[in-house]
Amino acid sequence: MTGKSLRPGRALAWVAMAVFVVVTVFPFWWMIRTALTPAADIYTDNAGLLPEHPTLINFTRVLGLTTEAEARAAGGSGAHINFAGYLWNSVVYCSLIAAVQTLFCAMAGYAFARLRFPGRDLVFAIVIAALMVPPIFTLLPNFIFVKDLGLMSTMAGMVAPTILMTPFAVFFLRQFFLSLPRDVEEAAILDGNGPWGIFWRIALPMSRGPLITIGLTTTVWAWKDYLWPLLVGRDEENRLVTVALGVFLQQSPNTQPDWTGLMAASTLSVLPVLVLLIFMGKRLVQSLNFTGSK
């Protein structure tokens, strides 16, 4: 920023940055490139940045759009794969959790921040103490509980542990509601609003930023979920994308894995979050300023 002496240094810094970006992005490029390569070519065509004979067959076969014979001819195992269905399941799973959890945690966060009632601080402390409990610890008993309830292999069983709350979301939203100006609230009371009216008409609209932030991060985490959906969502009908990828990998145990199919499926698992990043990139980036340091 000052003087000419910094110029070579800055150039070097940009080069370092560029190297880091290439290392970050290149694996994704290679994933898509492989997904567009015919299975028969992966032994011979592995030098160029683009495939020699680009094809969409890997996508159509993992989406379940080809016949089994066609899929097998294109290098698949012939097992039925339906990533369109798994993607849909993942979208339902994420949307349910993000929407419902955000609403409920906002309600609780608001109550802990703005309402006055006996025992408030104690109840809040108890809820926040759950931050100390690692997921693996509640996972085993929750699994048995969901099994006893007869909710195995159902969407209800899959979303059950997280749809109502996470301690972090309550903590995060309470922090925000604490900073709402008091006079707006008092004006609303004078207008005849009760707590629900203030929450719905004033607090929520004023908190769009933090609500979107927590909703987005919840969506991302839900999209990445693996262990719980693996345990509870075992059936084909409610399998999520992440679980399906693991199953797909295991379907070709003895020979070389079906790399072109796997990379097509992997690409599909990235696409929705990529769309999210393109449209909400700025929000997501800003959300780190929120959650990171405060």
Site for other proteins in 93-122 (CB under 8 A): 104-105, 107-108, 110-112, 115-118, 120
Smaller CB distance to other proteins: residue 57 or 108?
Answer: 108
Cα distance between residue 86 and residue 211, in whole Å: 27
- Shortest Å distance, C-beta 88 to other proteins: 16
Segment 241-260, which members bind other proteins (CB under 8 A)? 241-242, 245-246, 249, 256-257, 259
Q: Residue 208 interacts with other proteins (CB under 8 A)? A: no
Segment 59-78, which members bind other proteins (CB under 8 A)? none
**Single residue of 36, 94, 263, 264 touching other proteins by CB under 8 A:** 263
Q: Residue 50 interacts with other proteins (CB under 8 A)? A: no
Cα distance between residue 26 and residue 34, in whole Å: 12
Q: Residue 199 interacts with other proteins (CB under 8 A)? A: yes
**Single residue of 38, 64, 85, 195 touching other proteins by CB under 8 A:** 195
The mark string for 142-161 relative to other proteins (x by CB under 8 A, - otherwise) is: x-xx--------------xx
Q: Candidates 27-35, 58-66, 91-99, 204-212: pick the segment binding other proteins (CB under 8 A).
A: 27-35
Task: Kindly determine how many residues on this chain lie close enough to bind other proteins according to the rule CB under 8 A.
Answer: 99
| HEC-encoded secondary structure of the chain | CCCCCCHHHHHHHHHHHHHHHHHHHHHHHHHHHHHCCCHHHCCCCCCCCCCCCCCCHHHHHHCCCCCHHHHHHCCCCCCCCCHHHHHHHHHHHHHHHHHHHHHHHHHHHHHHHHCCCCCHHHHHHHHHHHHHCCHHHHHHHHHHHHHHCCCCCCHHHHHHHHHCCCHHHHHHHHHHHHCCCHHHHHHHHHCCCCHHHHHHHHHHHHCHHHHHHHHHHHHHHHHHCCHHHHHHCCCHHHCCHHHHHHHHHHCCCCCCCCHHHHHHHHHHHHHHHHHHHHHHHHHHHHHHHHHHHC
Q: Residue 293 interacts with other proteins (CB under 8 A)? A: yes
Cα distance between residue 102 and residue 213, in whole Å: 10
- Shortest Å distance, C-beta 180 to other proteins: 15
Smaller CB distance to other proteins: residue 155 or 277?
Answer: 277
Smaller CB distance to other proteins: residue 20 or 88?
Answer: 20
**Single residue of 27, 48, 192, 253 touching other proteins by CB under 8 A:** 27
Cα distance between residue 84 and residue 55, in whole Å: 19
Smaller CB distance to other proteins: residue 56 or 271?
Answer: 271
Smaller CB distance to other proteins: residue 42 or 91?
Answer: 42
Q: Residue 179 interacts with other proteins (CB under 8 A)? A: no
Smaller CB distance to other proteins: residue 67 or 84?
Answer: 84
Cα distance between residue 186 and residue 181, in whole Å: 9
**Single residue of 58, 89, 218, 269 touching other proteins by CB under 8 A:** 269
**Single residue of 123, 151, 202, 204 touching other proteins by CB under 8 A:** 123
